[in-house]
Amino acid sequence: MILDESLTAYVETHTTAETKLLQKINRQTHANVLKPRMLSGHLQGRLLAMLSHMIQPKAILEIGTFTGYSAICLAEGLQKDGKLYTIDINEELEEQVRSYFAESGIENNVEYYIGNALTIVPELKATFDLVFIDADKINYATYYDLVFDKVRPGGYIIADNVLWSGKVVEQTHKKVDVDTQAILDYNKKVQQDSRVENILLPIRDGLLVARKL
């Protein structure tokens, strides 16, 4: 977390509450799943939902489903006959995630893939209004390149964890670890890409929002 606990609590108190289903996913993820911090959570989830409502996407691509929290938030803004494509490599969570999608009522609007996004994304034929990248950091730049031509002009690419718990600005004599370097490279790549305009939002662990020109 970038904010301390008291400020985070204040911010969340002044943010629309999670639905009962999202509260359940939040609780069950923290109780039963390894690395629960990977969950988007209340504040970020409400932001993703609001951005999706603003964009009103026909097609969304999510790379990194985890337990389905962010997918359900993103789907809130989908057009009535829209589709959310979401990819995750962890097949052990599939049954649980599908049950959440069913409970949320979005199962008919979701294409859920289990496998390697590096091979799945090139096979997707859709044109996306919104892409959310929240998977292995080492491949962020590759995911960006894979999705870019599939995003319509005016569409958005959002990447999570771009502050990487503050490691992106830590001064140290030690060699930078590979994940931190991957995030640094991704942020630089987007910043230098003349095909987009972008803003880095210091929300939770950082969201880099890029709009394709």
DSSP class of 22: H
Domain ranges of the chain: 5-212
Spatial separation of the C-alpha atoms in residues 127 and 192, rounded to whole Å: 24
Architecture, CATH, for domain 5-212: 3-Layer(aba) Sandwich (3.40)
11: CB partners within 8 A, 6+ apart: 3, 43
Which has the closest alpha carbon to 92: 33, 40, 138?
A: 33
pLDDT tens per residue across all 213 residues of the chain: 567 889 989 999 999 999 999 999 999 999 999 998 889 999 999 999 999 999 999 999 999 999 999 999 999 999 999 999 999 999 999 999 999 999 999 999 999 999 999 999 999 999 999 999 999 999 999 999 999 999 999 999 999 999 999 999 986 767 889 999 999 999 999 999 999 999 999 999 999 999 999
Spatial separation of the C-alpha atoms in residues 64 and 49, rounded to whole Å: 16
Is the whole model's pTM more than 0.75, yes or no? yes
List, in sequence order, every residue forming a beta bridge with 211; answer none if it has no partner.
Answer: 156, 197
Which has the closest alpha carbon to 131: 119, 113, 147?
A: 147
The residue assigned the tokens 């209004």 is: 129
- Cβ–Cβ under 8 Å, residues 129 and 158: no
Spatial separation of the C-alpha atoms in residues 21 and 54, rounded to whole Å: 22
